[in-house]
Amino acid sequence: MSTATNNDRRLIDELKSSIAAMVDDRSRRATTGEAWLSNTDRLCQNILTTDPNDFLNWDMISRTMVVGNADFVRGELDFLKNLPDWKERWENALQESPVGHPTYYDDFPSSSGNLIHQAYHLAQFEKITGIDIGQASFVFEFGGGYGSLCRLVHRLNFKGRYVIYDLPPFSALQLFFLKMNRISSMTSSAYAGKASNGVICVSEFKHLESILADDVNMDDAVFIATWSLSETPVSLRQAILSLVKQFNAFLVAYQGCFGNIDNMGFFDEWMNTMKNIEWHRWIIEHLPNQLYRGNYYLIGKKR
């Protein structure tokens, strides 16, 4: 076996061991919102009983985190191709990783619909704020999926500290994905407060508070939450937003409603409490929206 294969096997064993320790953890279930409890249970079952090398084809992942070859991706790819730095920057960044066995995009087969969709979010953020995400020194992503957006930011030449806060099983999957892609990553329990770069996958709120208190250059910090904050219980949203109120820039995407929560009203109230931010909000017209009263971008930068 090659060194790479041995390393991959080790990372799979680490992932399965970490998930096995979570399965009977009642505190994990108590802190998981009802909307995502069944998803985390399903993810744990998949990791323990099937091959993580194929995780992007698991039903829960493909249903909640992957857009595939959706019709709207064509327009997003066209937008990216028309950017002045497409050739020297975005085209190379969009080279998909084989980890997880992604479905490649028919009209740009070196990438995937999911990665194109995420690049479109970042391009919208950069257009509105004028910030090159690769030049930021600190990014905090709330709800990081399986780590794909984090990897994309690193492919855009990001060299700083990247923190992802998520439910424990997803933090474990993110750590697996990022390490498989040779991106320096660690759990929050392994963080010693010394390194200025690399990724920290966090699933305990007290660890998140400590890391942000120790590490953030507020003049440069970027907060990202794409369809994650808007699917979270309001009490946790408020706790998270209290930690990022001094951040420099924000990339948020959300549904108009989720369950019985009026997201439009929630984010209106948040914007009103953050008057030091120049906000831009608009409906994402090309995304399906019948169930959620529309999908929206909310992007802002400190005045």
Please check whether residue 240 lies inside any domain of the structure: yes
- Residue 213's Cβ-side half-sphere holds a number of Cα atoms within 13 Å equal to 6
pLDDT band at 7 (very low <50, low <70, confident <90, very high): confident
C-alpha 218/C-alpha 63 separation (Å) is 35
Please check whether residue 32 lies inside any domain of the structure: no
Please check whether residue 37 lies inside any domain of the structure: no
For 153, residues 6+ apart whose C-beta sits below 8 A from its C-beta are 122, 133, 134, 139, 162
CB atoms within 10 A of CB 288: 12
**Would you give the DSSP letter of residue 254?**
E
Please check whether residue 182 lies inside any domain of the structure: yes
Q: What angle do CA 277, 250, 210 make, to 5 degrees?
A: 105
Give the structural domain span for 84: 73-302
Question: Considering the entire predicted model, what is its pTM?
Answer: 0.93
Please check whether residue 39 lies inside any domain of the structure: no
For 222, residues 6+ apart whose C-beta sits below 8 A from its C-beta are 131, 133, 136, 138, 139, 140, 247, 248, 249, 250, 251
For 37, residues 6+ apart whose C-beta sits below 8 A from its C-beta are 29
Please check whether residue 48 lies inside any domain of the structure: no
10-19, 22-31, 99-108: segment of lowest average pLDDT:
22-31
**Would you give the DSSP letter of residue 101?**
-
pLDDT at position 154 over 50: yes
| SS3 call for 298 | strand
Q: What is the pLDDT of residues 181-228, one digit of tens each?
A: 999 999 888 776 656 689 999 999 999 998 888 766 678 899 999 999
Number of domains within the chain: 1
C-alpha 57/C-alpha 143 separation (Å) is 20
**Can you give the CATH number for the domain in which 202 is found?**
3.40.50.150
Please check whether residue 173 lies inside any domain of the structure: yes
Please check whether residue 107 lies inside any domain of the structure: yes
